[in-house]
Amino acid sequence: MTLAAISLCALVAALIVSCFSTLNVGFLAIVLAWIVGTFIGGMRVDQVLGGFPTSLFLTLAGITLLFAQAQGNGTLDRLAHRAVRGAGRSPGVIPIIFFALTAALSSIGPGNIAATALMAPLGMAAAGRYGIPPFLMAIMIANGASAGSVSPVTPTGVIVAGITTKIGLEDVRWAVYVNNLIAHAAIALIGYLLFGGWRLLRERRQPIGAPAAVAATITTSAVDTRVSLPMAGDDAHSSPDDDLHFAWQHWLTCVVIAALVVGVVGFNVNVGLGAFAGAVILTIARAADEHAAVRAMPWPVIMMVCGVSTLVALLERTGGIDLFAAFLARMSTPATATAVVAFFTGVISIYSSTTGVVLPALLPTIPALIARIGGGDAMDLVSSMIVGGHLVDVSPLSTLGALCLAAAPRGTDTRAMFNQLLAWGVSMSVVAAVVCWLVFR
């Protein structure tokens, strides 16, 4: 067996483990890169470690540190609560508002997991209060979070930007973001219409039940969010925002985040270094607890991304990427490539991390795939992989779907909702293939 084939087998093994094990696949990927590169390929250790994405590591660390501070000092909670004040009394408008708010929150930097963790408790509470099907609200929130997930200032957007630059696509950050946002908005609209949103638009109803107040706590590996929110049965005139006033540290945090976004968008500031600068400002001003923020950073996700990237770098060196591309090419033509890559990316993403495993492993294969099938547009294939990987994340096997399920209002048949989310998520691999074939061709 050639070294290229062995390295490809190592990547496939890592993908399989990521689907069925709780082991951090990033650590496994680093070990496999070391074993294959040094003991089988005869490389020096420093050659293998040269594939570790130091710049990406620092960028992800900077972004997640800043937003861990914003989460820890309560700024993101306050922004979320202030935003949902506009939900109004029309139940049909409420899911649309939550899609837009989650997409906006995801886009400004926290990414899809943090945005869902913040908005799912609020959205599911609103679903219970206004008689909105929880499954419909979950579709809107999860798709909203994924719609903003590849913004240039989010962790996933940074990963995608780095890979696309490496494969020869210069500064396509906004094109990728817009393509992904439009795709998720379209699918969310279809879900909204299919599952009763249009009927809700014609209704006006008061919140259900009598006064009561509860607190919901959601914890994930990447974010710990504690949000006081109204649930089914709360008083129509009570508002959790009454206890969430903005203090100076919250305003300063908002200014820092806004400055980062403006710097990245308008002045091409390095997003990671800009985020570190913002985090330092908040720490010096004592507007956030640096030590608590460091503990809250999603280190497992960061190491997953960097570990897989190290193994992928070894594949590029040994020719394993070409073998992977050859596998995809056997099932593709220039006319069907977008459908094929969207489908395979979606199927793998149902069980594995889209950001940490799937995109770092598959995006680098695009140039070789185009060469083997004799044509194709790299940007279309990038967009297809991103859309395919993210559309399935409504599944309860993914973090976004699981967060929505965990926040379901009282009285929800969670088993039925689990099955609904799973069926929707699995079906999205086929839907993504069709949509990408129609749009990106």
Across the chain, what does the average pLDDT equal? 87
Structure confidence by residue, pLDDT tens digits, 356-392: 889 999 999 999 999 999 999 999 999 999 999 999 9
Query: Is there a domain that residue 166 lies in?
Result: yes
Query: Is there a domain that residue 262 lies in?
Result: yes
Query: Is there a domain that residue 406 lies in?
Result: no
Return the higher-pLDDT residue of 247 and 352: 247
- Which pTM value belongs to this model? 0.83
Query: Is there a domain that residue 325 lies in?
Result: no
Structure confidence by residue, pLDDT tens digits, 388-419: 999 999 999 888 998 899 889 888 898 999 99
Mean pLDDT, rounded, for 239-244: 54
Q: Tokens 């002045």 identify what position? A: 267
Per-residue pLDDT band at 197 (split at 50, 70, 90): confident
Q: Tokens 């494969």 identify what position? A: 167
Q: Is the pLDDT of residue 209 over 70?
A: no
The domain tally of the chain equals 1
Query: Is there a domain that residue 127 lies in?
Result: yes
Query: Is there a domain that residue 412 lies in?
Result: no
Structure confidence by residue, pLDDT tens digits, 27-74: 999 999 999 999 999 999 999 999 999 999 999 999 999 999 998 999
Q: Measured between alpha carbons, how far is 350 from 348 in angstroms, rounded to an integer?
A: 5
Per-residue pLDDT band at 217 (split at 50, 70, 90): very low
User: Domain limits at 299?
Assistant: 3-317
Query: Is there a domain that residue 218 lies in?
Result: yes
Query: Is there a domain that residue 239 lies in?
Result: yes
155-164, 209-218, 272-281, 346-355: least confident range: 209-218
168: number of Cβ within 10 Å? 9
